[in-house]
Structure 1
Amino acid sequence: MKAVTLLLAAAAFGVQANHDEHESHGHGAHEHGHGHLNLVLDGNQLMLELQAPAADLVGFEHAAKSDEEKAQYAKAMAQLKQPDALFRFDPSAGCKLTQQELNAAKEEHDHDHDHNHNHKKAGSNHDDHHHDDAGHADVGAMYTYTCEAPTKLTGLEVTLFSVYPSLEKLSVQGILPTGQTAAELTPSANKLSW
């Protein structure tokens, strides 16, 4: 079942990313203030995949450099590790978090070229060496829940707007036992029913 769930979620995300790429003329799914949530309910497992611009979840998109930025990054990652503050389900469904995975923008750049070259040479300016060609970074998280009574799971309330106030909308796509669903949630319309 778990493999099927993962495949369905990946397919749903792929369709969304492809759709967004065509809609925004090649800029991909990255739009400040706009996140994406994919969900799959398969048997008693619910999987949520959240993806949003780092600017909205962390406050910036570059590698954390100062102590203040590193603290801000750590706080954002800690918040993502607390999905109960981001999503609410009907308690009678008995959904318990069984697995979570963060896919965060890297704190430090990682690439394969040698850093032992001499930066003191005339004309050498390492600060001009850009590691993020696109200039955009997304942060994501995947949460898997096991629900005791999945038939009582008839919706979800997205409370992450209060945690990440610069996030203005969330495009949702889901695969449910009853079929597919899609919605756009906002801070004032943050509930999805199925």
Structure 2
Amino acid sequence: MKAVTLLLAAATFAVHAHHDEHESHGHGAHEHGHGHLNFVVDGDQLMIELQAPAADLVGFEHAARSDEEKAQYAKAVARLQQPDALFRLDPAAGCKLTHQELQAAKEDHDHEHDHDHDHDKAGADHDEHQHDESGHADFGAMYTYTCATPAKLTGLEASLFSVYPSLEKLSVQGILPAGQTAAELTPSANKLSW
């Protein structure tokens, strides 16, 4: 039941964040340097969802083309698979990562799909497609933890700013047993307490 609650909360966050982005920036545009961090604490479980422009997490927003870009993309994926380098939780809470899921940029998938089926497409059209799609690519991950002593989980530190130097702020929304919280984290103010 707790997993269902966490998944529903995550879906709510994703829909809300997507709606807000459409309302404030118009038609899916996003702001480079600005990510979103959503979390839910439910019983002994903590779920964290991170979304940010691919330009900030990967270094570019188009599908990786060259060997160098493919290596850069693989490095970005490897970083996202190591949440201990991105977030710090109070060790006294005894939180252990139990599940993680990467969310690749939708436009990269669409581009790869189109690329696989449109081999005869002219180079100019291909580049124009990249330009139109790349401005809106997001990338992220979802992490689920089980905490041995959840009462000692009283905050988190976003250490990811040192991993992603172009990331300037995170808009944070959280659902806690005592209610909701919201904040903005930056490299100089990267701790959230509850």
Provide TM-score, normalisation by structure 2. 0.89
In the alignment, what sits opposite 2:4? Answer: 3
In the alignment, what sits opposite 1:115? Answer: 118
The answer on whether the counterparts of 2:38 and 2:48 sit within 8 Å (CA) in structure 1 is yes
Q: How many residues align?
A: 187
Segments ≥4 residues shifted beyond 3 Å: 111-117, 131-134
CA-to-aligned-CA distance 1:154-185 (integer Å, 9 cap, x gap): 00000000000000000000111010000000
Q: Let me know the Cα RMSD of the aligned residues.
A: 1.9
Counterpart of 2:12, as a letter, is A
Query: What is the SS of the residue equivalent to 1:3?
Result: helix
d(CA) in 2 for partners of 1:69 and 1:113?
Answer: 18
In the alignment, what sits opposite 1:122? Answer: none
Gapped regions of structure 2 (runs ≥ 5): none
The 3 A distance-change label for structure 1 pair 131 and 166 is closer
d(CA) in 1 for partners of 2:9 and 2:17?
Answer: 12
The percentage of aligned residue pairs carrying the same residue is: 68
Residue 110 of structure 1: how far off its partner (Å): 1.1
Gapped regions of structure 1 (runs ≥ 5): 120-124
CA-to-aligned-CA distance 1:68-123 (integer Å, 9 cap, x gap): 11111111110000000000000000000000000113476113984364x6xxxx
Query: What is the SS of the residue equivalent to 1:99?
Result: strand
In the alignment, what sits opposite 2:42? Answer: 42
The answer on whether the counterparts of 1:39 and 1:173 sit within 8 Å (CA) in structure 2 is yes
Counterpart of 1:177, as a letter, is P
Provide TM-score, normalisation by structure 1. 0.89
More helix by share: 2
